[in-house]
Chains A and B, each alone.
Chain A
Amino acid sequence: MILRSALFLSLLSSAAWSDEIWVTNEKDDTVSVIDVDTLEVIQTYPTGERPRGITFSHDFSRLYICASDSNSVQVMDPNTGEILHDLPSGEDPEQFVLHPDDVHLYIANEDDAITTVVDVETRRVVAQIDVGVEPEGMAVSPDGKIAITTSETTNMAHWIDTETQELFANTLVDSRPRHAEFTRDGKQMWVSSEIGGTVTVFDVETQTEIGKMEFEIAGIHPDRVQPVGFEFSEGDETVFVALGPANHIAAVNAETFEVEDYILVGRRVWHMAFNGDKSQLFTTNGVSGDVTVIDVASREAIKTIKVGRFPWGAAYRPTN
């Protein structure tokens, strides 16, 4: 009876063509699929061990998942939840980024101090690049020419020339860099530092620091304000920064680098994904095991959705 109604629900939801947010559950070895319209979990699929990084191919027909403890990147059919095959990924893949060419995955191998470049079509390793200790944050410039790896214990952003697959610059940042993003115009590259408590902005052309922001929340010790994941709003005007165990998302003015708002979310907030028109933001809250939905216009949390244990990464999938 229960099974049948679940089946009915899933048929119903796919018939309704709702967009989805996919979330990896690090300690449940699953992905949860959230319906963006009903804000409910409509599917949970099993994955390899310790799933963390998650991203879709450009046509959203394939889902890539970093199964860290299985030492592979899994490729899933998002329509069926079936694992199609594994990609060679190097040891302990934690986070990755898909190149604009839709073919090359740049993968951070956390235990090996290596960034692995994999061709998703030939399923072969194209290059392995030595980087600092515990690589994690991964980004690629909009023109595809530069890839970034941040290393958590070396405390650097490593700049990779994607044509030669070699490092051309290494820039120091504050302690435990976690996440990196380019602005849409490709002129700036942003890096969050978890223990340093800062987000640093680099000028891409010169690889020099042009700004740094700090965060301050009344009643929370500065040591516990730990920037991790962040995303740019529509038009790159605002940056939403997850502050880890401070349990807040900061809304930062991307031009002045000033914090405009703090939004209370679940415990130890990690990463986030927007819906299609970027009117809603979905944050993964590691410790509380849920996802907070933020209304971007009002900057208010509107709902909490229970997912699996230790949700980590999030990715958006349109179905229309």
Chain B
Amino acid sequence: MKGRTHISAAIFAALWGTSVLADVDVTIGYLSVITPPPPTLSRLDEIPENLGSAGAITGIEDNQTTGRFLNHNYSLNQTAVDIDGDYLAAAADLLAASPYLVIDAPMDALIAIADLPSAQGAMLFNASAQDQSLRSTDCRANLLHTIPSNAMETDALAQLFVSRRWDDIVMIAGTYPADTAYAEAMRNSVRKFGMRMGDEKTWAFDADMRRAASAEVPLFTQDFGDYDVMVVADEVHDFGRYILYNTWEPRPVAGSEGLTATAWAPVIEQWGAAQLQSRFTEAHDRAMAPVDYAAWAAVRTVGEAVTRTNSGDFDTLRAYILSDDFELAGFKGRPLTYRAWNGQLRQPIAIAHPRALVATAPLDGFLHHINELDSLGLDRPESQCEAFE
């Protein structure tokens, strides 16, 4: 009986809460620019329709639960547009409603949106594009990145290679731009941590292959000779899955397949991550993907700044987010902060296979004079971004 009274009191409070004006009311936009994936050898991978936006929704819910106690209110405006559609108009619409916009789009679209007149004085969050140049020569002062760059992920793998003494490395790369970008990042990482990339081959088979990919792989990998680890740069997930267990030499496979470095994976459970995973899965009926995590982190960034400053003022929030006082608890065992030189969210990188977490970078022993997390990706002297100065 007493329990029932409390439940109705709670409902009343909730209704009452929405009927009065909140002290701070924050709307966040979410735009996904849909790019159809290229054809691949396997159709096993299903791309969820709510990839990214599901993470934003969980972020809004987390913000809202906190906001309830502070009279802060949050809402999400979502739009999805095809890459051939008018995504600039869609972005301008969302920006008219709110200066905070989380975007899942390829690099070119992202830059075009960031350069919109209506995006000046806004805060955009890149939740999916991993291109290095977005954190360097192509950076924008109004664009933060919650998804790690390719370089952060390949640096994480390179640290593992060093610690495992797998320093004889070979690589197979696909031919899509995402594959070649990943391969280039891997080469840089191997060099950065004092190793040398050995032989490389390009997977450029077309319909003329005349055998199943798995049957082709032993022969294709035979002339690598001996090595410690094989890197596969196959970001579109075309051929990479057929490399594992089919190599001429029995060796581990890492990169886009096998042992991968990533912002988020279903196998992360430490540091309270199990709670975020179960909250997400319960709400969306699937596992949380890296883009979901990046969208969640973007929405939580705004929420955390509103909570701590008790303000909805754009300039106050932006200054706070980029200050030393800001920190986001991102279920990765360390506070997450933004790099002041290029707007990249500093974060530990998970090194995992589909069944378990193998390690978390930065690995023990990879030191940095300011923050060990800056051993991953573009450090201040390496980035050519000047927009934040």
Contacts and interface: CB of A to CB of B under 8 A. Distances in A.
| Interface secondary structure of A, over-half rule | loop
Contact of B327 (A111, A128, A175): A175
Contacts of B284: none
A269 interface: no
Given A127-B3, A130-B10, A195-B329, A158 B69 contact: yes
A144 interface: no
B66 A155 contact: yes
Contacts of B68: 130
Interface string B301-342: 000000110000000000000000001110001110000000
A103 interface: no
Contact of A223 (B6, B307, B308, B334): B334
Interface residues of B, number: 28
A155 B307 contact: yes
Interface string B326-366: 01110001110000000000000000000000000000000
B329 A152 contact: yes
Interface string B59-72: 00010011011100
Contacts of B69: 132, 154, 156, 158, 167, 170
B275 interface: yes
A141 to B, nearest CB: 20
B183 to A, nearest CB: 32
Q: How large is the interface on A (under 10, 10 to 19, 20 to 34, 35 or more residues)?
A: 35 or more
Interface string B178-214: 0000000000000000000000000000000000000
Contacts of B10: 128, 130
A195 B65 CA distance: 20
B279 A154 contact: no
Interface string B239-282: 00000000000000000000000000000000010010011001
A290 interface: no
Contacts of A167: 69
B168 interface: no
Interface string A307-319: 0000000000000
A178 to B, nearest CB: 9
Given A130-B10, A155-B307, A224-B334, A110 B275 contact: yes
B275 A172 contact: no
